[in-house]
Every structure is written in C-alpha cells, then in structure tokens.
Amino acid sequence: MCCARILLLLCTLGCGGCSDKPKGENVALDQVPEPVMKVAKEKLSGITFEQAWKTPNGNYEVRGKAKNGKVRDIQVKPDGTVIEVD
C-alpha cells in the first residue's frame, strides 16, 4: 500500500509540466513579425503553421503540423534570431 502511494505521488509530480501549450499570449499569425515568420518558414519548410504565442520575455513561438501530422514548433526573437527548433 505504501509503495502504491509513493508511485502515485511520483506520477502526479512528474506530470506537473506536461502541458503541450506554450505559455504566453496568443497572437494571430498575421500579427507575428515578418522576420519571425520568414525564419520559421525557412527552418521548417513544408509545415502548415496554425498557432503563435508571444512569450513573457517578448519572443515568439510558432507551431504547425507537417503533412504526416507531426507537430513542430520554433522559438524566435522578434528580429528573426532562432532560439530553438522542435
């Protein structure tokens, strides 16, 4: 019984950050700065972009799907500097 409680606690704590959605303010794709969208399209060619967020630090995260359904996203500074590609 004790092991079951510990396992439940570990599973609960382990999923605390399992959210799929980036934190920040939703932004319409047509409101994302042009340098951000340009680099997103260059780095993730073939992706249909669907969502964008402005993060609390002022950067942008743009997310879309490949034809095979795989979700891809990219984090970019407003000037077009790439931070991370997933």
Does residue 28 sit within a domain?
yes
**Nearest in space to 73 (alpha carbons), one of 38, 44, 34:** 44
Does residue 79 sit within a domain?
yes
The parent domain of residue 76 ranges over 23-85
Cβ neighbors of 80 (< 8 A, separation 6 or more) are 33, 35, 36, 38, 39
* Count: domains in the chain: 1
Phi, psi of 14 (to 5 degrees): -65, -25
| pLDDT value of position 58 | 96
Identify the CATH number of the domain in which residue 34 sits.
3.10.450
This prediction's pTM = 0.72
Does residue 38 sit within a domain?
yes
| pLDDT value of position 21 | 52
Does residue 76 sit within a domain?
yes
| pLDDT value of position 70 | 97
| pLDDT value of position 53 | 97
Q: In what order do the strands lie in the sheet with 60-65?
A: 25-26, 48-54, 60-65, 71-76, 82-85
Does residue 69 sit within a domain?
yes
| pLDDT value of position 56 | 96
Does residue 42 sit within a domain?
yes
| pLDDT value of position 20 | 55
pLDDT means over runs of 10, the chain (86 residues):
46 47 84 97 96 97 96 97 96
Does residue 66 sit within a domain?
yes
**Nearest in space to 43 (alpha carbons), one of 62, 27, 28, 30:** 62
Does residue 6 sit within a domain?
no
